[in-house]
């Protein structure tokens, strides 16, 4: 764009351009600060688990935010109060596991699931999590025997390698799984039906659905699912509390990002692309394709927050703004408006 100036470092990467780690059961690919240097505070993973395939029981230091893009799966976790969580999630649902909370994911029929994971640490790697098999394999059998009150030979046939993603029989009924332990259920569930909730904002141009600590108390990472109609636009705005990690689900987008000091970059996005906008950098996202644009905005702050340029101009004296922009006050009164996350087409 002729208004572009300076290089902000690339604001775009794509899962379609990175190494895909396969096992005979499923696959995962990741975009981290190592291959996407601007992505300092969040890392992303795209994972596929066919029916029965399991992402091994594991935990990690950062928190995990996730969105199901296809199919369905069963997720499990337990918190530090020994309270259980087991749920089935489907396309459009999200989950959130706080840092250190151990969990698993398994594909359900008929075709398993695919999902996006976002971690609140750009350095995180899906290849370096704490795996239950890894711990068993590196703990003396006598210690395991003492811990569980069973003979050491119990562990003779435990797999000697990490499983990570492996095939297992598909799970039985959710009710049976929930009844196995008599422990209480976690007070704040780790799953949330993001796509099924009523939009927080809706206009002729599109909609925004938000899941943050106000309606999804388990989370410390806010997020939004944004839909923009062809020709519509996510308005000029910025986020005062956090960087923004984006995932483009469908459609074609053009984002302009303003970094101050005269620097501005414009970037095109297609499905499977990841975008990144540092905290308080001004930006807009246009739907420049023929189909509905759908993308995710994910943040490291518990609360969702954005500042609207139009709303700013509406809430300070119009004469003051007019003096800056050399626009008639009468024209400005028509331009400045209430916050409109997706402007009408």
Residue with smaller CB distance to Mn ion, 64 or 79: 64
Stretch binding Mn ion (CB under 5 A), from 63-71, 75-83, 180-188, 255-263: 63-71
Three-class SS state of 322: helix
Residue with smaller CB distance to Mn ion, 283 or 318: 283
| Site size with Mn ion, rule: CB under 5 A | 2
Active site (catalytic) residues? 297
In the complex, the smallest distance separating the C-beta of residue 243 from Mn ion, rounded to whole angstroms, is 10
In the complex, the smallest distance separating the C-beta of residue 129 from Mn ion, rounded to whole angstroms, is 6
Complete DSSP assignment for 57-113: EEE-SS-EEEEEEEEEEEEEEE-TTS-EEEEEEETT-EEEE-TT--EEEEEPTTT-E
In the complex, the smallest distance separating the C-beta of residue 109 from Mn ion, rounded to whole angstroms, is 22
In the complex, the smallest distance separating the C-beta of residue 301 from Mn ion, rounded to whole angstroms, is 13
Cα separation of 327 and 320, whole Å? 11
Interface pattern 233-272 for Mn ion (x via CB under 5 A): -----------x----------------------------
Cα separation of 245 and 275, whole Å? 6
CA-based nearest residue to 43, from 100, 98, 112, 116? 116
In the complex, the smallest distance separating the C-beta of residue 313 from Mn ion, rounded to whole angstroms, is 18
Residue with smaller CB distance to Mn ion, 275 or 322: 275
Residue with smaller CB distance to Mn ion, 247 or 318: 247
Other CB atoms within a 10 A radius of the CB of residue 31 amount to 25
- Burial class from Cβ neighbours inside 10 Å (0-12, 13-18, 19+) for residue 323 reads exposed
Stretch binding Mn ion (CB under 5 A), from 60-68, 81-89, 136-144, 211-219: 60-68
If one asks whether residue 212 binds Mn ion (CB under 5 A), the answer comes out as no
Instruction: Judge contact between 211 and 94, C-beta under 8 A.
Output: yes
Complete DSSP assignment for 10-49: --EEEGGGS-EEE-SS-EEEEE-TTTSTT--S-EEEEEEE
If one asks whether residue 64 binds Mn ion (CB under 5 A), the answer comes out as yes
Residue with smaller CB distance to Mn ion, 36 or 95: 95
In the complex, the smallest distance separating the C-beta of residue 103 from Mn ion, rounded to whole angstroms, is 6
If one asks whether residue 126 binds Mn ion (CB under 5 A), the answer comes out as no
Bridging pattern class, strands 293-298 and 263-269: unpaired
* DSSP-assigned letter for residue 306: -
**Residue nearest Mn ion by beta-carbon distance:** 64
Residue with smaller CB distance to Mn ion, 93 or 318: 93
Interface with Mn ion by CB under 5 A: which residues? 64, 244
């Amino acid at each position: 764009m002729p208004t572009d100036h300076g290089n902000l470092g690339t604001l775009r990467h794509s899962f379609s351009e990175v190494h895909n780690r396969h096992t005979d059961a499923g696959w995962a690919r990741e975009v981290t600060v190592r291959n996407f240097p601007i992505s300092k505070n969040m890392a992303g993973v795209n994972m596929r688990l066919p029916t029965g395939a399991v992402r091994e029981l594991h935990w990690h230091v950062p928190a995990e935010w996730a969105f199901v893009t296809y199919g369905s799966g069963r997720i499990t976790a337990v918190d530090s109060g020994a309270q259980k969580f087991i749920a089935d999630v489907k396309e459009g649902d999200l989950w959130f596991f706080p840092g250190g909370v151990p969990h698993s994911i398994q594909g359900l029929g008929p075709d398993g699931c695919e999902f996006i994971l976002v971690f609140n640490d750009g350095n995180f790697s899906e290849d370096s999590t704490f795996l239950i098999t890894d711990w068993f394999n590196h703990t003396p059998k006598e210690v395991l025997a003492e811990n569980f009150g069973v003979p050491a030979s119990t562990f003779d046939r435990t797999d000697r390698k990490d499983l990570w993603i492996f095939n297992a029989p598909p799970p039985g009924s959710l009710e049976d799984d929930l009844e196995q332990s008599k422990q209480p259920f976690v007070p704040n569930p780790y799953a949330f039906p993001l796509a099924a909730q009523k939009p927080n904002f809706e206009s002729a141009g599109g909609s925004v659905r938000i899941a943050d600590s106000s309606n999804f108390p388990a989370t410390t990472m806010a997020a939004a699912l944004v839909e923009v109609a062809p020709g519509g636009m996510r308005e000029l705005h910025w986020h005062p509390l956090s960087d923004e990690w984006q995932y483009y689900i469908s459609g074609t987008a053009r984002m302009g990002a303003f970094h101050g000091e005269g620097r501005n970059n414009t970037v095109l996005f297609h499905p499977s692309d990841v975008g990144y906008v540092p905290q308080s950098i001004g930006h807009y996202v246009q739907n420049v394709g023929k189909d509905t644009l759908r993308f995710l905005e994910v943040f490291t702050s518990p609360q969702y927050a954005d500042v609207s340029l139009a709303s700013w101009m509406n809430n300070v004296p119009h004469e003051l703004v007019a003096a800056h922009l050399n626009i008639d006050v009468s024209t400005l009164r028509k331009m400045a408006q209430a916050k409109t996350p997706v402007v009408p087409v």
